[in-house]
């Protein structure tokens, strides 16, 4: 006798099949998080690999059962997660997703619309058209016909922006700041374009005069990619001034606002993005500030006509006669074919929270970043790189000179400037700042102990600890704990 196939997620019986499985999943998520107890599992990679290996065969000859498999594997992944919902998990632009967005994503999986043809996604494709139009209008409030494509994130959006520019102009040169995302270099490589010209950004942002200097030396069509929210420092290039320089040199402007774009939702802070709509294309990620589970990327374009070059025909998906008969042609909305309805979770989030609700989340994270900067400034053991623009805070320990055998004290060999950390005594200030190696070791120690997840970033020729604050539930008390942990690690 053959066993019946496992139940499906869709249809009228799907919900009843899912309900008990979801109970198992939710219990395993809860128990796994409790077993972890902190922002990430202790013991480093070896311990994690050993625990995963101990789970047993990945592909047994005969399976266990759905509840056992869900319980075991979801528990293992939750216990071994770097969980961005923990307030001390703050290394990257790794967002803690909103519960309501995750719930919507379940529905997306259950229905499994595929966005490459209307007959696989009738309502999902209609919803996507509405949401992308609305978000494009947030970026380009004054444009006549803006549009946006749903992407897997900033990397794909930046690549599409370069592709669209190449299709407008042929062999286009790209000019980026040294602060720009690495994806521009890969995109140029992938698209067969010349290597991007990289303009140094010693202050962390692309200086208009430096850009003008670079453009003067270039013939032919140029796309300048500016950044609104740099990955390392959360800085925003001076977009209006860069747009002026581009206009003066006949260059086109793309803005990578993967990180900073959602600041548009905040009444308090949206002025930081003034001039964004002068860009021909804009990258925005909603899986950073936006609190969506990955993936939730967008490429906004000022003029929908720029997207026509992406049109493509495959007879089984968008035959001309089907299109003429009124079936929407979706194949030009992406370079992908099968494509998840990532727009559903975003649509649910926009509707449930509204612009004001999202803006309040942005504001909360911006405030936490200022709080953390305050704490760093108050700590005699720490040095702050700069007051935060977005939600990224760079800091580094200042190690007091320890008069041990042969240790250098005043005037350290690397010429490090005395710290400006408030409250540092002259002796401490004159002492060697902690070396980059010490700092990297502090970060790895916190990771190995499972106490905190901090990132690292180079700036000013030195290495810094990086906290990227995307958790609107983090409290000043959480941040104080983070500071205490870092201070404790510096005195070992």
Helix, strand, coil % in the chain, rounded to nearest 5: 45, 10, 40
Beta-ladder partners of 382? 397
Residue-by-residue DSSP string for 176-236: EETTS-THHHHHHHHTTPPPPEEE--TTSS--HHHHHHHHHT--S-EEEEEEBS-TTT--B
Minimum CB separation of residue 176 from ligand PLP in Å reads 11
| Contact between 466 and ligand PLP per CB under 6 A | no
Among 285, 342, 428, 438, binds ligand PLP (CB under 6 A): 285
**E strand residue ranges, 276-363:** 281-285, 297-301
Per-residue contact flags (x/-) with ligand PLP for residues 133 to 172, judged by CB under 6 A: --------------------xxx-----------------
C-beta of 153 vs 204, nearer to ligand PLP? 153
Residue of 256, 190, 188 whose CA lies nearest to 222 = 188
| Contact between 290 and ligand PLP per CB under 6 A | no
Residue of 44, 32, 46 whose CA lies nearest to 451 = 44
Residues 6+ apart with CB under 8 A from 373: 384, 387, 388, 393
Pick the piece of the chain touching ligand PLP (CB under 6 A) from 5-13, 203-211, 253-261, 456-464: 253-261
Among 75, 181, 278, 443, binds ligand PLP (CB under 6 A): 181
| Contact between 297 and ligand PLP per CB under 6 A | yes
Pick the piece of the chain touching ligand PLP (CB under 6 A) from 225-233, 351-359, 382-390, 420-428: 225-233
User: Which residue's CB comes closest to ligand PLP?
Assistant: 153
Minimum CB separation of residue 289 from ligand PLP in Å reads 10
Residues 6+ apart with CB under 8 A from 328: 118, 125, 129
Backbone torsions φ then ψ of 5, nearest 5 degrees:
-60, 155
Pick the piece of the chain touching ligand PLP (CB under 6 A) from 164-172, 254-262, 428-436, 443-451: 254-262
Minimum CB separation of residue 84 from ligand PLP in Å reads 14
C-beta of 138 vs 285, nearer to ligand PLP? 285
Among 89, 93, 242, 279, binds ligand PLP (CB under 6 A): 93
Task: Give the C-alpha separation, 300 to 282, whole Å.
Answer: 5
Among 140, 259, 265, 395, binds ligand PLP (CB under 6 A): 259
Residue of 419, 394, 348, 391 whose CA lies nearest to 131 = 348
Query: Phi/psi zone of residue 86: left (φ > 0), alpha (ψ -120 to 50 degrees), beta?
Result: beta
CA dihedral 422, 377, 483, 373 (to 10 degrees): 180
C-beta of 32 vs 341, nearer to ligand PLP? 341
The CA-based angle 436-442-448, given to 5 degrees, is 135
Residue of 356, 343, 339, 243 whose CA lies nearest to 296 = 343
| Contact between 229 and ligand PLP per CB under 6 A | yes
| Contact between 256 and ligand PLP per CB under 6 A | yes
* 401 token code pair: 């000179």
C-beta of 266 vs 392, nearer to ligand PLP? 392
Task: Give the C-alpha separation, 31 to 71, whole Å.
Answer: 10
Minimum CB separation of residue 126 from ligand PLP in Å reads 25
| Contact between 262 and ligand PLP per CB under 6 A | no
Residues 6+ apart with CB under 8 A from 415: none
Among 95, 159, 183, 419, binds ligand PLP (CB under 6 A): 183
| Contact between 246 and ligand PLP per CB under 6 A | no
Minimum CB separation of residue 38 from ligand PLP in Å reads 25
For 270-342, where are the alpha helices, taking DSSP H only? 315-318, 320-324
Residues 403-422 that bind ligand PLP (CB under 6 A): none
Pick the piece of the chain touching ligand PLP (CB under 6 A) from 105-113, 214-222, 256-264, 327-335: 256-264
Residues that bind ligand PLP (CB under 6 A): 93, 153-155, 181, 183, 227, 229, 231, 256, 258-259, 285, 297
């Amino acid at each position: 006798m053959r066993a019946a196939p496992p139940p499906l997620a869709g249809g009228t019986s799907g919900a009843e099949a899912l309900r008990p499985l979801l109970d198992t999943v939710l219990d395993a998520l809860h128990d796994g998080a409790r077993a972890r107890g902190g922002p990430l599992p202790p013991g480093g990679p070896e311990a994690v690999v050993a625990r995963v290996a101990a789970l047993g065969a990945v592909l047994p000859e005969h399976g266990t059962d759905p509840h056992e498999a869900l319980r075991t594997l979801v528990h293992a992944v939750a216990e071994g997660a770097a969980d961005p919902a923990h307030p001390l998990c703050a290394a990257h632009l790794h967002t803690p997703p909103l519960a309501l967005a995750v719930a919507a994503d379940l529905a997306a999986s259950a229905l499994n619309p595929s966005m490459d043809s209307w007959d696989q996604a009738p309502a999902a494709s209609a919803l996507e058209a509405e949401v992308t139009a609305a978000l494009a209008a947030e970026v380009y409030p004054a444009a006549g016909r803006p549009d946006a494509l749903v992407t897997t994130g900033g990397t794909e959006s930046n690549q599409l922006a370069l592709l669209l520019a190449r299709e407008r102009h042929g062999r286009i040169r790209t000019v980026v700041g040294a602060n720009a995302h690495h994806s521009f270099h890969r995109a140029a490589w992938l698209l067969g374009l010349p290597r991007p010209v990289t303009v140094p950004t010693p202050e962390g942002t692309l200086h208009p005069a430096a850009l003008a200097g670079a453009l003067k030396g270039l013939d032919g069509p140029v796309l300048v990619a500016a950044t609104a929210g740099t990955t390392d420092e959360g800085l925003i290039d001076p977009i209006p001034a860069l747009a002026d320089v581009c206009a003066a040199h006949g260059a086109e402007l793309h803005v990578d606002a993967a990180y900073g774009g959602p600041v548009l939702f905040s009444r308090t802070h949206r002025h930081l993005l003034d001039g964004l709509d002068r860009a021909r294309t804009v990258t925005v990620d909603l899986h950073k500030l936006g609190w969506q589970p990955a993936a939730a990327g967008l490429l906004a374009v000022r003029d929908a006509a720029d997207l026509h070059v992406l049109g493509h025909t495959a007879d089984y998906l968008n035959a001309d006669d089907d299109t003429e008969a009124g079936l929407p042609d979706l194949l030009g909305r992406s370079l992908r074919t099968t494509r998840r309805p990532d727009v559903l979770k975003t649509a649910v989030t926009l509707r449930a929270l509204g612009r004001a609700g999202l803006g309040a989340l942005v504001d909360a994270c911006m405030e936490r970043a200022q709080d953390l900067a305050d704490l760093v400034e108050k700590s005699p053991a720490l040095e702050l790189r700069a007051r935060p623009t977005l939600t990224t805070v760079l800091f580094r320990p200042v190690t007091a000179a320890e008069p041990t055998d042969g240790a250098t004290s005043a005037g350290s060999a690397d010429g490090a400037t005395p710290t400006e950390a408030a409250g540092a005594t002259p002796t401490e200030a004159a002492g060697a700042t902690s070396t980059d190696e010490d700092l990297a070791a502090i970060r790895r120690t916190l990771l190995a102990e499972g106490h905190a997840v901090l990132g690292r970033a180079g700036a000013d020729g030195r290495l810094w600890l990086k906290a990227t604050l995307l958790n609107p539930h983090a409290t000043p008390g959480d941040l104080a704990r983070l500071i205490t942990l870092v201070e404790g690690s510096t005195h070992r």
